[in-house]
Amino acid sequence: MSFGHLKSSPSRRVAIVGAGAIGLSIGWRLAAAGCSVDIFDRGAAGQGATRAAGGMLAAAAEVEPAEDALVALCRRSQAMWADFAAELEAASGIDVELRREGTLVIALTADDLGKLRRTAELQQRLGIGTRWLPGGEVRRIEPYLSPRVSGALHCPDDHQVENRKVGAALARAYQAAGGRLHEHVAVEGIATTDGRVLGLRIGDGLHEADTVVVAAGAWSRGLGGLPDGLRPPVRPVKGQMLALRMPSGEPLLRHVLWTPGAYLIPRRDGRLLIGATVEERGFDENLTAGGLLSLLESAWRAVPGIEELPVEETWVGFRPGSRDDAPILGPGGIAGLVMATGHHRNGILLTPATAELVARHVLTGEVDPAMAPFGIDRFSRTR
């Protein structure tokens, strides 16, 4: 999507906190529209949740009851991904490895089958097209699956991207559009005066900006300078993951696979990602025997052949979880303050839609109806 028709005044200065997929994609759109954009990150660009993620574009597989507005946003963003990836590749020269085999959500037990049936009903109610495959057919298309697999839901639109390449590509596209990237720079907080933002406090100095976008993921709540009532209620939701190495030229899987207790993501380069735990342990960076054991055991039940594969990498990431697990998007309660955080399990999936909606809001002040349900004001009654 081009923002060429939304040229801003060149003097509009935007400061973004957080150089993950969300901050970089918003910055890319705004820089391309003529804004003067600075992005600050406490570490290197794309090295937080953007690096830790699995890159699943799982609007169907991740569907939850009572989240209709979120499902609609996820599906909007999912539908944008093919064009977004092509545009990003053209702007950066980096192939982000969008793969379109889709996702299989498998059942191993009668209990799993019952749960999948309820998921299928929910998907149907929401108009999400998925297809039931009996066990024999699932094993025909994925021959390394356990004979115990009794069936699967095929989610044909739940594709995947290589999220680490997405982070690198966004950093490059953003800078090619004229954006400035400040890595390893800690932002102390947001500077305000008379109910509007002045910019960012960095060290002893002030970086002036007309608009500040908070896109700091799980670290968003820790930003100083905001009254308690306006700090985004986002917490870190820890996830442990690992990558195995598949034999070259012989991938064990082609589809993304969801099995009870884990998901498996085959990459073009031969890695097989297995994720992820969901833990309320703050910013605890420890990998645990129990976490890895549960992931490996769940994955092994579905694909016994993983037993022979070398472990290549293990890591921990922090999802930015809001109080209702939905993102926080749009006006931040002070003139010039904009939120783009709290994407929880859906940060990579929601990147194109977030960039579109938040950039348009910064440029025009408009709050698109698709973004309206995700305002920070929804928490004000319970904060």
The CB-of-47 to ligand GLY minimum distance in angstroms stands at 17
The CB-of-152 to ligand GLY minimum distance in angstroms stands at 18
CB burial of residue 231 (10 Å; 0-12, 13-18, 19+): buried
- 52 belongs to the binding site for ligand GLY (CB under 6 A): no
- 56 belongs to the binding site for ligand GLY (CB under 6 A): yes
For ligand GLY, give the closer residue by CB, 8 or 103. Answer: 103
The CB-of-225 to ligand GLY minimum distance in angstroms stands at 29
The CB-of-347 to ligand GLY minimum distance in angstroms stands at 8
- 181 belongs to the binding site for ligand GLY (CB under 6 A): no
For ligand GLY, give the closer residue by CB, 179 or 321. Answer: 321
Residue 67, token pair as written in the block: 């989240």
**Cα distances (angstroms) measured from residue 77 to each of 40, 73, 121, 295:** 25, 6, 22, 28
Q: From CA 180, how far away is CA 20, in angstroms rounded?
A: 14
- 235 belongs to the binding site for ligand GLY (CB under 6 A): no
DSSP state of 284: -
Residue 274, token pair as written in the block: 């297995």
Three-state secondary-structure class, residue 86: helix
Q: From CA 266, how far away is CA 263, in angstroms rounded?
A: 10
Residue 89, token pair as written in the block: 């590749």
For ligand GLY, give the closer residue by CB, 270 or 320. Answer: 320
DSSP state of 216: -
- 236 belongs to the binding site for ligand GLY (CB under 6 A): no
For ligand GLY, give the closer residue by CB, 27 or 317. Answer: 317
DSSP state of 222: G
Q: How many CA atoms lie within 13 A of 17 on its CB side?
A: 31
Which amino acid is it at 299? A
For ligand GLY, give the closer residue by CB, 47 or 150. Answer: 47
**Cα distances (angstroms) measured from residue 57 to each of 63, 79, 115, 256, 382:** 12, 10, 21, 10, 31
Q: Mask 329-348, x = binds ligand GLY (CB under 6 A)? A: ----------------x---
- 54 belongs to the binding site for ligand GLY (CB under 6 A): yes
Size of the site for ligand GLY (CB under 6 A): 7
For ligand GLY, give the closer residue by CB, 266 or 275. Answer: 275
- 265 belongs to the binding site for ligand GLY (CB under 6 A): no
Measured between its terminal Cα atoms, the distance across the chain in Å is: 36
The CB-of-100 to ligand GLY minimum distance in angstroms stands at 18
Q: Report whether the peptide linkage leading into residue 216 is cis, meaning its omega lies within 30 degrees of zero.
A: no
Q: Bridge partners of 160?
A: 56, 99
Strands 131-134 and 151-155 turn out to be antiparallel
For ligand GLY, give the closer residue by CB, 135 or 239. Answer: 239
Q: Smallest Cα–Cα separation from 292: which of 310, 279, 276? A: 276
For ligand GLY, give the closer residue by CB, 170 or 276. Answer: 276
- 319 belongs to the binding site for ligand GLY (CB under 6 A): yes
- 239 belongs to the binding site for ligand GLY (CB under 6 A): yes
Q: Cβ(72)–Cβ(190) under 8 Å? A: no
- 48 belongs to the binding site for ligand GLY (CB under 6 A): no
For ligand GLY, give the closer residue by CB, 133 or 276. Answer: 276
Q: Which residue is nearest to ligand GLY (CB)?
A: 345
- 276 belongs to the binding site for ligand GLY (CB under 6 A): yes
The CB-of-348 to ligand GLY minimum distance in angstroms stands at 8
**Cα distances (angstroms) measured from residue 128 to each of 125, 226, 344:** 8, 40, 21
The CB-of-160 to ligand GLY minimum distance in angstroms stands at 11
The CB-of-315 to ligand GLY minimum distance in angstroms stands at 12
The CB-of-330 to ligand GLY minimum distance in angstroms stands at 23
- 165 belongs to the binding site for ligand GLY (CB under 6 A): no
Dihedral sign (CA 110, 116, 118, 121) = negative
The CB-of-166 to ligand GLY minimum distance in angstroms stands at 14
Report the interface residues with ligand GLY, using CB under 6 A. 54, 56, 239, 275-276, 319, 345
